[in-house]
Amino acid sequence: MKKIADILALCLEDIASGRSTLEDCLEKYASLRQQLEPLLKIALSIEAPGDIKPSAAFKVRTRAHLLEEIHARRAKAKWWQTGFVAGAQRTVRFRWSRAAAIVVAVLLAVSAIGGGTAYASQDSLPGDVMYPVKLGTENVRLMLTADDASRVRLKLAFAGTRLQEMEALADMGSDKISVAISGYQHNMKAAFVETEQLEGEDASASLSETVALAVSCHLPILCRIEDKAPEEDGEAIERAQEMIGERQISVLRILAGKNPVRATEIKLDVMQHWLERADVALTEAKIGGGEMALGQFVALCECGNEIAQCAHGSKDGFNSIDEMNMQCTSNHLAMLGAIYKKVPADMKESVERAMRLSAEGYCRASSSLLAAGMCHNLPEKPQLSDDIPVKVRERILDNLPCETTLPEETPGSNGPGGGGSAPNGQLNESQQSGYAPWDVPPPCPSSAPGQHEV
């Protein structure tokens, strides 16, 4: 597939020669229209330059860069490539002449949109006259950024800009919010793809953490926008949440290979978010949103098991990971018990699966800590909420990787576990957490969205 810079050069050449119009080029490259249109409009709006002569210093720098590139390419050449030297030289000259033309066009575009025009466009929104200039400046910045990690961070920044636009448009009740949603998805997908391609390189750990944290920051904002947006746009925002949630898991796997403790912290933070979102959605009878959030939670449960196994294999912080998983799983199980009461009958099986996976992870972590001779203030066995019927609890706890039995009912108790319930059928603090009132564990690791810089 041709790069956007090559396509831009071809379109400008065709339009200048009269072979095509602007619309012809956009139809020909319809899949790239969003990127291509603002760049073409900017380039076509530039008047023909005067007689520009490069300075002596510019010639020296260019010659030095060219010689470095030629030397690097020759160093990489194999013996069997020498027969093609003449043809390769012609190809290099052709590519460099085209690259030089593109660079000149880009520099002219930067000059044209620099200063007041580019600055004024930064507050524009989809539908505004200056919005194509805003997108054009972003595309030019990407074209001039060669470092892969820097490109990913730039795309995350542009995705954050699209979030700001989405919220502003939702507050205005604008019908252009879909443009910002599409731009957000485009930038996030590109950031994920390039991060995954860098797996194994030195920069992959810090970059994967940056991308994973960006998702953690974006999810609450997307939920807030979804609640304000019209229904049809709300569905598109929900799909965007699902997409970045799924892709975040692949990035967490990359991070787990370098820093499993940090991957676990981020994972647990996002799991909490999805449970809270499922609870809100089901309370508001948004069954589809509740199902999506619950599905994301289950996927993260499975990912968490992989991260724990990775940590145990590398002996890298696995005790800390086990403790964090046990602490947070107790809270997750209490929340899942509250969700179980709200879901329709055809969703109860999904909630049971989420509780089963959580309980299995809890048991594995507990067994690992006990085997390591570590004392902790957490019960060996997972505690399920009294909101769940006894038969369902028995089914969930059956054949777990730790010995788990339901305590017998005692006089004055309200079901297995004893201790009674708070008024109005609500659990008291010790029942919600699964700990005795005098044995409260430290809070789950938190990565509040507002505390991260992307």
Q: How confident is the model at residue 416 (pLDDT cuts 50, 70, 90)?
A: very low
- 370 falls in which pLDDT band (50, 70, 90)? confident
236-245, 274-283, 319-328: least confident range: 319-328
Find the mean pLDDT for residues 127-139.
85
* Range with the poorest average pLDDT among 84-88, 131-135, 307-311, 337-341: 84-88
Residue 318 structure tokens: 């696995």
What are 370's two structure tokens?
């006990």
Give the burial class of 388: count Cβ atoms within 10 A of its Cβ; 0-12 exposed, 13-18 middle, 19 or more buried: buried
Q: What is the pLDDT of residues 218-232, one digit of tens each?
A: 999 999 999 999 888
Q: Which residue has the higher pLDDT, 26 or 46?
A: 26
| pLDDT of res. 77 | 47
Alpha-carbon gap, residue 387 to 340, rounded angstroms: 8
How many alpha carbons lie under 13 Å from residue 172 in its C-beta half-sphere? 13
Over residues 256-278, the pLDDT tens digits come to 888 899 999 999 999 999 999 99
Using only C-alpha atoms, what is the Rg of the chain? 28
| Domains in the chain: boundaries | 1-45+91-144
Q: What is the DSSP annotation of 43-73?
A: HHHSPPP------HHHHHHHHHHHHHHHHHH
**What's this model's pTM, rounded to 2 decimal places?**
0.65
d(CA 13, CA 75): 34
- Using alpha carbons, select from 313, 318, 337 the residue that is nearest to residue 415: 337
pLDDT higher than 60, residue 428: no
Q: Which long-range contacts (CB under 8 A, 24 or more apart) does 196-202 make?
A: 196/250, 196/251, 196/254, 197/148, 198/148, 198/149, 198/152, 199/254
Q: How far apart are CA 341 and CA 351, in angstroms?
A: 10
pLDDT tens for residues 67-106? 666 555 555 444 434 444 445 454 444 454 554 445 445 4
Mean pLDDT computed over every residue of the chain? 76
